[in-house]
Chains A and B, each alone.
Chain A
């Protein structure tokens, strides 16, 4: 199980940037498709908010993967004293 935790860590580290790239590509496409005027402004606003929110979340996923890779989750704390 510890080996699985470790190797899956690499998957999570890769997944973070992939998601952000996908979101950027989608944002560019969908903003381009939106009608000129208020509809485009709204679409741009929504996508900007989504990307801004997901950048730290994806960074968190990369850090989570890094911790997994480094074996930080091999033994979880048994009590709060271990934290």
Chain B
């Protein structure tokens, strides 16, 4: 008996390793474009705004969240028709191939507009592939996992999105440090793209050796495979109402908690709090490093106490805690206020004068590097435009704060607060694969679970930066106003989930 248990565990370990590695690489591939968007923009797009700005917007905006639900439909259908293994093998090849090719695209100076158009096409392929990958991997693992441990085993898949982000940040920082900023911006940015082909090759090799899901194999042998999974998923009321429940009661809230904790936090620290580029990334790296094991903790715990309340508690804590957390970020980095009492030293001013484009006006920037008694440092730049017309009145100088670095205590507190946000991500995300898998029958599972997942994660979550920025632009808004979007969506999802979802799911996924 012990020997049989050991064999099962070994087999599932291989299944998890094969699925997780591939999914991790897909996320890595997806993230490096976002992280390197500025450099790619300089290399592959013309410097003047024009048609390329539109293509650039589409490449980043569209593939980031719009295409994923379509990938979920296309590959979900394939997965329910021909099987999980071959479908998510295909998504891996498409994702890895397009990432590698982005690394090979000649610059705009060599091939002109063909460069941004090729980028857009490859980004769309990436988005489609990502839309198909997750459902396949989660379904594949869940259909191998024993009853009562499905949350634990699928939670390994859940770690991959976060680890993919971690890996992408790590590879970029490492490559940049090894090559130097100039060489990295010139050609070194291609390395993270090209390296991914090795990882994809290994992953394809491992996946090729895996067998089809036993549950799907049985279904196929019995001739019970769905002939039209899309129709059965979305036209059959009994199933469609569960798709809607999964979307509004779980994945919608999960998506906004996910993006707020892992992306908005870092962008808020960098753009609103003016934290130094590296510092804001190190904060996120530390937080992710400490929080990642909790995906497995909460996934495993959900096997014992049910999935529903763990996910909903994560959403509720987000609703309650986001505003105080972000208020602390603002207070802890308010160097303008600190320097009134805490200023320790200031460097000699560095003055730069530049001519403004298309006019004869000039821009004078006076930069001072300051250190505070509490250990924080920052750059203060006074910017003034000197009009060419000597009789014109001089405009008031603008003071710009940048490159803030934190002191020991506030650095640790901010890491702890970002860690807490990623912990909420692990609460909502750790159990959700098992929750979705248990909601739908085998023959249409891949299709049925992929669409709500990618609308929740890709659309609701992916829109966090855009809508948060939009809300912050309303008259009378404050830097915290953007948080009303994730708070509102998470609160809505919490209410729907609390009222409509059962805590006890269907344990049998073989039907």
B-binding residues in A (CB < 8 A): 1, 4-5, 8, 12, 26, 30, 37-38, 41-42, 45-46, 49-50, 53, 57, 60-61, 63-64, 67-68, 72-73, 76-83
Contact = CB atoms under 8 A, between A and B. Distances in A.
B391 interface: no
B174 to A, nearest CB: 34
A82 B58 CA distance: 42
Contacts of B455: 57
A70 to B, nearest CB: 10
Nearest to B69: A53
A52 B508 CA distance: 37
Given A77-B242, A82-B238, A68 B441 contact: no
Given A1-B499, A26-B470, A42-B53, A78 B241 contact: no
B238 A53 contact: no
Given A79-B511, A82-B238, A83-B238, A38 B50 contact: yes
Nearest to B58: A45
Interface string B231-260: 000001111111011011000000000000
Contacts of B49: 37-38
A68 B500 CA distance: 9
B248 A49 contact: no
Interface string B494-511: 011001111000101001
B142 to A, nearest CB: 13
A42 B57 contact: yes
Contacts of B237: 72
Interface residues of B, number: 37
Secondary structure of the B side of the interface?
A: helix
Contact of A64 (B58, B62, B248, B442): B248
A80 B54 contact: no
Given A53-B459, A80-B508, A82-B238, A8 B440 contact: no
B290 interface: no
Nearest to A63: B244
Contact of A72 (B241, B442, B499, B511): B241
Contacts of B463: 50
A78 B442 CA distance: 15
B427 interface: no
Contacts of A61: 248
26 contacts: A5-B500, A12-B248, A12-B496, A37-B49, A38-B54, A41-B54, A42-B53, A42-B57, A46-B57, A50-B466, A53-B66, A60-B247, A60-B248, A63-B244, A64-B248, A67-B244, A72-B237, A72-B241, A73-B245, A76-B502, A77-B242, A77-B506, A80-B508, A82-B238, A83-B236, A83-B441
A60 B61 CA distance: 23
Interface in B197-218: none
Counting chain A CB atoms within 10 Å of each CB, the highest count among B54, B500, B501 belongs to B500
B57 A45 contact: yes
Interface string B30-74: 000000000000000000011001100110011000100000000
A46 B466 contact: yes
Contacts of A46: 57, 61, 466
A81 B443 CA distance: 12
Nearest to A37: B49
A55 B265 CA distance: 29
A4 B66 contact: no
Interface of B: 49-50, 53-54, 57-58, 61-62, 66, 236-242, 244-245, 247-248, 440-442, 455, 459, 463, 466, 470, 495-496, 499-502, 506, 508, 511
A46 B50 CA distance: 16
Q: Which 8 A-B pairs have the closest CB atoms?
A: A80-B441, A64-B244, A80-B511, A83-B238, A38-B49, A73-B500, A67-B241, A79-B506
A49 B69 CA distance: 14
B440 A83 contact: yes
Nearest to B247: A60
A30 B472 CA distance: 13
Given A49-B61, A57-B247, A83-B242, 10 more contacts: A12-B248, A60-B244, A72-B241, A76-B242, A76-B501, A77-B242, A80-B440, A80-B441, A83-B238, A83-B239
Contacts of A60: 244, 247-248
Given A38-B54, A49-B61, A49-B62, A77 B508 contact: no
Given A80-B440, A80-B442, A57 B459 contact: yes
A46 to B, nearest CB: 6
Nearest to B501: A76
Contacts of B501: 76
B502 A5 contact: no
A64 B441 contact: no
A57 B54 CA distance: 25
A4 B495 CA distance: 11
Nearest to A72: B241
Counting chain B CB atoms within 10 Å of each CB, the highest count among A60, A79, A83 belongs to A83
A57 B460 CA distance: 10
B113 to A, nearest CB: 15
B499 A8 contact: yes
Nearest to B48: A38
Contacts of A12: 248, 496
